[in-house]
Chain A
Amino acid sequence: MKIHEYQAKELLASFSVPVERGVVVRSAEEIGGAMGKLGERARYAVKAQIHSGGRGKGHFSGGLEGGGVQLVSSEKKAVDLARRMLGNRLVTAQNGPDGSLVTAVYIAEVLEPQRQFYLSILIDRAAQRPVVLASRDGGVEIEALAEEHPEKILREHIHPLFGPEAFQARRIAFWLGLKDDVLWEDFQRTLAGIYRIFWEKNASLVEINPLIVTEEGRLCALDAKINFEDNGLPRHEDIRALRDSAQEDEKEVRASEFGLSYIALDGTVGCLTNGAGLAMATMDMLHSYGIRPANFLDLGDNSGVDAIAEAVRILLSDKNARCLLVNIFGGAMRGDLVADGILKALDGKGLSLPLVVRIEGANAELGRKTIAAALPGTVFADDLAAIGYAIKNAYERT
């Protein structure tokens, strides 16, 4: 789960990580009071809050000049800009042609970075340990830096039972060139804070980029990104409350409420599949026939009839869908449940799209019989290769 920059900064501050002074506004009415709290400044940073990187280089679809992060020189301009950002859509290189709805704007003091660093913590899967990544090249994209200049990134593995030790904090700080006493103390607090958020809140990534040295010679997290692992969310009511569903695909939100893994794609074949591997393989196979899937869907093992029915409704609500494909290999999931779910979603009505069904594994025959009886036009395929042919045929008829 992703959260906004302002939420990340509030969380960082609550774990003693230094952040700049700023206020968040979610509606035009809030702006006046919020500006009072921030106090008079020479300049203001006005930052649109959406779940996407590349905000500064993005553009608004609603005819507002400039990117999603702008610096202005008066309170009046800041208020005016924040008001126009709210409710607008910000399009970036990462979030698709429709962009994302700006539901909140963060207005902050402007700091002049003397130096900029990169600092993050995440799990290193190869080592199966947490790892701190640090670089003196703050503000850059870390993936690109890792590929072009891996020597510019320090990787410090942390023992999960003990957390970062003082010598490790020193090693990272010296490597970044933070030798001054005040900066060293700020850095210790920062590292301890991001590690605690990672560990105690089940974050999958805590990233400060850039972490800067201010004109006063203090550290400050100027931009931050915190992602949380979905598997950890059941333990953290406070983190779940940070979710902003407006930033997510409406169908994906519906699916997640039923415990389904669903990802909207831009193709035309709706796919009802179980298991992540088979779901991906089904997409890959369609592509090999030159056909694009409308979605990725993993029903998971424990989905009941209601969840399956919701999945079918989501697939049918996709206006681009020209075909429906059911590819189920039952183990934990049973074929008869899938059939019942499909029929429940149709609620006695027929299906207007061609349907290709492959059900194998647990209670497969019962599932196939149920569908054949209720939906006579269904094409049944008995293996993965046959699905390809059947879908291609059905597709060409539409």
Chain B
Amino acid sequence: MSILVDGNTRVLVHGITGKAATFHVRHCREYGTKVVAGLRPGKGGQQFDGVIPIYDTAREAVAEQGANASLIFVPAMGAADAIMEAIDAEIPLIVCITEGIPSNDMLRVRERLLGSHSTLLGPNSPGVISPGKTKLGIMPSHIHQPGSVGVVSRSGTLTFETVWQLTRRGIGQSSCVGIGGDGVHGLTLLEVVRRFNDDPGTDGIIMVGEIGGEEEEAAAEYVHRSVKKPVAAFIAGITAPPGRRMGHAGAIISGKKSGAAYKIAALEKAGIAVAKNPASIAETYGERAGLFAK
């Protein structure tokens, strides 16, 4: 099993004709992802790679192709509008890859999400993959292996790093989810951890957090209360200087609580195994899950 996406996911790609989108959509299709439609206002009626119909509006793509997930590559200044169009078309899952969306745009999106039929992943997300089934995102395919560990992260490349460590040790993944590096965004660490906890195909969870915000603490509290599955974690940025934005819009230490040491303490208090070094994330999980004792 898996969370969020599987073989039944039918994808509408917003901004499908862009350079990055073209590159990644081709890789998704090679992986087996059902990309059923593209969206590019003004290019409706054309086709992507000669096979995927392009539409002017999301509603048309849903009506004609039964799209049930959006994958958004629209440039930053128009990306919030693309998310809102997907919400309006009642698309259940919206994955936004775009980086650099102004926070105020995302505050409007958040209000539109309330009471809607949609769940948002991102923005500034690497996407989500359920290995062996489908991928909606920019992650390299070959590093994944089907299995039963759920991976959730605030960072793209650090998700890849974690997954690659797992695969090289023969530990497969149920789903790998990047919630994105922005301060204002959709699914939180806690919400993804909860989905993994409820997924019978996921036996254990790895959570990769970083400085800034309080999502790690909230997830840790939930783990402490409700999760019986083994959970390991890593927090990036223990050496980050305070007050500086570390690449991600959301990765900034502002006050004691958003620093790595505070988060690590909260995680350990919740009984989560925290990797001391980013090179040992899979190792730490394996030990916690008892995978190496057999």
* A-to-B contact residues, CB < 8 Å: 123, 125-126, 128-130, 143, 146-147, 159-161, 199, 202, 204, 229-232, 234-235, 261, 263, 265, 273-285, 287-288, 293, 296, 298, 300-302, 329-332, 360-362, 383-385, 387-388
Contact = CB atoms under 8 A, between A and B. Distances in A.
Given A125-B214, A231-B76, A285-B278, A278 B139 contact: no
Contacts of A202: 102-104
Contacts of B251: 276, 280
B155 A275 contact: yes
B279 interface: yes
Given A231-B102, A277-B181, A277-B208, A130 B107 contact: yes
Given A280-B237, A285-B278, 19 more contacts: A128-B110, A160-B107, A161-B108, A230-B245, A231-B101, A261-B246, A276-B181, A276-B210, A277-B247, A279-B247, A281-B278, A287-B239, A293-B239, A296-B240, A301-B156, A330-B140, A331-B126, A331-B156, A384-B278
Contact of B276 (A229, A283, A288): A288
B244 A263 contact: yes
A277 B254 CA distance: 18
Interface of B: 20, 24, 76-77, 99-104, 107-108, 110-111, 126, 137-140, 143, 153-161, 164-165, 168, 181, 183-184, 208, 210-214, 218, 234, 236-241, 244-251, 254-256, 276-280
B99 A125 contact: no
B102 A329 contact: no
Nearest to B158: A277
B107 A128 contact: yes
B79 to A, nearest CB: 11
8 contacts: A123-B107, A160-B108, A275-B247, A276-B181, A283-B239, A284-B278, A331-B160, A387-B279
B248 to A, nearest CB: 4
Nearest to B250: A125
A398 B288 CA distance: 39
Nearest to A204: B103
Contacts of A330: 140
Contacts of B100: 231
A128 B182 CA distance: 11
A284 B241 CA distance: 12
A240 to B, nearest CB: 14
Contact of A277 (B156, B218, B279, B280): B156
Among B208, B236, B254, the one with the most A-chain Cβ atoms within 10 Å of its Cβ is B236
Nearest to A287: B239
Contacts of A282: 278
A202 B254 CA distance: 19
